[in-house]
Structure 1
Amino acid sequence: MVHQSRSEHVLELAKELLDDIELSRTSAESLILKASRLARWVGSEEIRYWLKLEIQGYNSSNEVSLRYMGITGRWVDREKQKGYWGPLAQHEAAIMSEQAKLHAMRIPDTAGNMAFMTTKTVTNEMTSSASRISKLSGIKSRVLAKLHEFISEIYYEKQFDSLSESIFERYKSDVDNLIGKSCGEVLEQIPSVMSRLAEGNKEAISQSLTTCRRVIDSFADSIFPPSEETIEIGGNQLSLAANRHQNRINAYIHLRIGSKTRKNRFRQNLANLYDRVSTGVHNEVTVEEARALFLNTYLLIGEILHLPSDDA
């Protein structure tokens, strides 16, 4: 049995519901019940309450109920509080009943004094049924349109999330493989950062940033070990000593790409990142910023490891 993630389950359910609506392949009651299941997973409190109204019927004591009476076109006379308060399934059943009644009606073939009155009565009943069908069908159409709007938003949001997750997972797997081959010590430190960030308290955040800095240092040692030599970059002689981690990472980048603009982008990103994870240990950093810094560290390492081995 294939295990589905919550995101996959929501995406599949939303797709089924869109097909149900667009292909008219299920009853109103079944549609609302299934949509309620989706709303319990991802819907807002208001949407969940609205769907409850479509199952149980509307009431005049709730603001949301009164607002959706208008949204779904249920009012006959709002000032007098006259409207179609029943649930969608009830209106759908009434439409079918009126359609059957209308189908069975016909102008009687009569003559004499009663012909005019009989014909007028039947015509009035046909007009009344047609009007009722029109009103109830309008309510149903508005409900389905609102439902389609809600489900579509969920579907395309989850479809994008699924695509994003897929792209990131493939990239992560690739980066993890490169890190494992080139600098295994870095890969061993990543779970520690993730664990600290999950705790979310001030001390844990500080420790996670310290580990991020160590990850960058370990990365520098792995890809460009320290030496007594120097390297010229942009007219400057840079030391490659043990404590010059950024210089050594920049030297690694310098030897692999020719684009000055790209080199500068790498250098600036690395400098900003290293400065923030260093000073953030002693300053106030939110857990959201700490997560962003960790992700930036990971993505930067991945981008550097994807550089060609020869000059571009």
Structure 2
Amino acid sequence: MADIELKRLKASEVVLKASRLARLVGHTELTEFLGFERNGYPTDGSATTWIGRAGRWADREKGTFYTHSIAKVEAQVESALQAIDAMRGGGNYSGEMALVASRGHDERILHSSAALSTWTGICGQIVASVYDMVTEIYHELLFSELQASLFAGTQEKVDGALASASGSALEKIERISDRLRDGDPESVSQALTTCRRLIDSSADYVFPARDEPYEIGDGVNLKVGPQQVLNRLQAHTHACGASKSRRDRLRRTLADLYDRCSAGTHADVTIDEARFVFLQTYIALGEILTLSASEDGES
């Protein structure tokens, strides 16, 4: 990207360098485009999209375009520059044909200038198209790196919190993963049941059952007995000092997940849905458990 932005490379050099990038990251579209630029364009209509992206149409209505490779396009640019340079300053004409000769000279300059404009335009359009795709690759790689870093850091915290919440929590996660890989309906149902039990064990850890209700403000009391798993998780987030909006979001998320995990024991659930239910459960529990860890660390 810097080579293009600072104009350190010719168009043909940009194509070669981008070809290496396309090969390293396995970018199919960029590889195809640059293959045409290196070797020239076929006339069978298979490269129509790239002809437009490279600004190579001579007459779109007639279907004519410039098939030259980028190396030959640059050669045409150099030829036009040399022709214009050779004709610069005008000719020394005299006699009866001076006017005709002068007009011919001007026409040749105009022709060379038009050719130069066409070829340099193609070079510029090729570089611009390469830049657009390279920028997309850059942002994808940047996001992937950031995403991997965020997920790795979050996973470490969540796994540690789950390990504290239940000595068998990580074993439960491993069993869920194995069952979801199997993909058969029975394995999916078992995985969702295990996922629900993971929510239960987390609630038992952060907020053990009580006989007396828990007041969350405004005269609202929550039953927090053994069967009120979601209420106990809600009470825990309140006790940790989480904002009402955050508590409400976590409550809604866990209620939906708990219902879906329960439905999975007697209703058809696709393998893809089961995977997302597990991931969302893992993240929601991780947020609740690390909220506890955060509060403990601040106190």
Q: TM-score, normalised by structure 2?
A: 0.81
Distance in 1 (alpha carbons) for counterparts of 2:268 and 2:125: 51
The AA in structure 2 aligned to 1:208 is: A
One-letter code aligned to 1:88: I
**Alpha carbons of 1:38 and 1:199: their partners in 2 closer, same or farther (altered >3 Å)?**
farther
Residue of structure 2 aligned with 1:166, choices 129, 135, 149: 149
Residues 180 and 274, structure 2, Cα contact 8 Å, conserved in 1: yes
1:83 aligns with 2:68: no
Q: What corresponds to 2:223 in structure 1?
A: 238
Alignment equivalent of 1:304, drawn from 285, 288, 297: 288
Deviation of residue 116 (structure 1)?
5.1
Paired position in structure 1 for 2:74: 92
Task: State the SS of the aligned residue for 2:214.
Answer: strand
Q: Please state how far the C-alpha of 1:66 moved relative to its aligned partner.
A: 3.2
What is the root-mean-square deviation of aligned Cα atoms in Å?
A: 3.2
Matches within 5 A, 1:189-204: 189-204=172-187
Specify the alignment match of 1:275 in structure 2.
259
Q: Distance in 1 between matches of 2:250 and 2:49?
A: 54
Contact 1:60-1:66 at 8 Å conserved across structures: no
1:34-49 to 2 correspondences below 5 Å: 34-39=17-22, 41=25, 43=27, 45=29, 47-49=30-32
Identity fraction in percent:
38
3-state secondary structure, aligned to 1:59: coil
Q: CA deviation at 1:91?
A: 0.3
2:236 to 249, 252, 265: 252
Tell me by how many angstroms 1:130 deviates.
Answer: 1.5
* Deviation of the 1:235 alpha carbon: 4.2
Alpha-carbon deviation of 1:301?
1.6
Distance 2:222 2:64 in 1: 85
Q: CA deviation at 1:191?
A: 2.6
Q: Which amino acid aligns with 2:213?
A: I
Residues 1:119 and 1:261: Cα distance change in structure 2 (over 3 Å)? closer
Distance 1:35 1:205 in 2: 45
Structure 1 moving runs of 4+ over 6 Å: none
Q: Are 2:40 and 2:67, in contact at CA under 8 Å, matched by a contact in 1? A: yes
Cα offset for 1:259?
Answer: 4.8
Q: Which residue of 1 aligns with 2:47?
A: 65
Contact 1:182 1:222 in 2 (8 A): yes
Return the alpha-carbon distance in structure 2 between the equivalents of residues 237 and 108 of structure 1.
Answer: 99
Q: Please say if residues 205 and 290 of structure 1, whose CA atoms lie closer than 8 Å, have aligned partners that are also in contact.
A: yes
**Which residue of the other structure, out of 24, 36, 39, is the alignment partner of 2:7?**
24
Instruction: Provide, for residues 242-278 of structure 1, a one-character-per-residue CA deviation record: whole Å limited to 9, x for no partner.
Output: x543343334334333755544443332222111112
The number of residues matched between the two structures is 291
**Does the alignment pair 1:206 with 2:196?**
no
CA distance in 2, matches of 1:272, 1:79: 57
| Equivalent residues of 1:231, 1:251 under 8 A apart | no
Once the two structures are TM-superposed, the CA of residue 86 in structure 1 deviates from its matched residue by: 0.9
What CA deviation, in whole Å up to 9, does each residue of 1:86-144 have, x standing for no partner?
12221012102321332233434464566556544544333222211111111122222
SS state of the match for residue 223, structure 2? strand
Q: Unaligned stretches of 5+ in structure 1?
A: 1-17
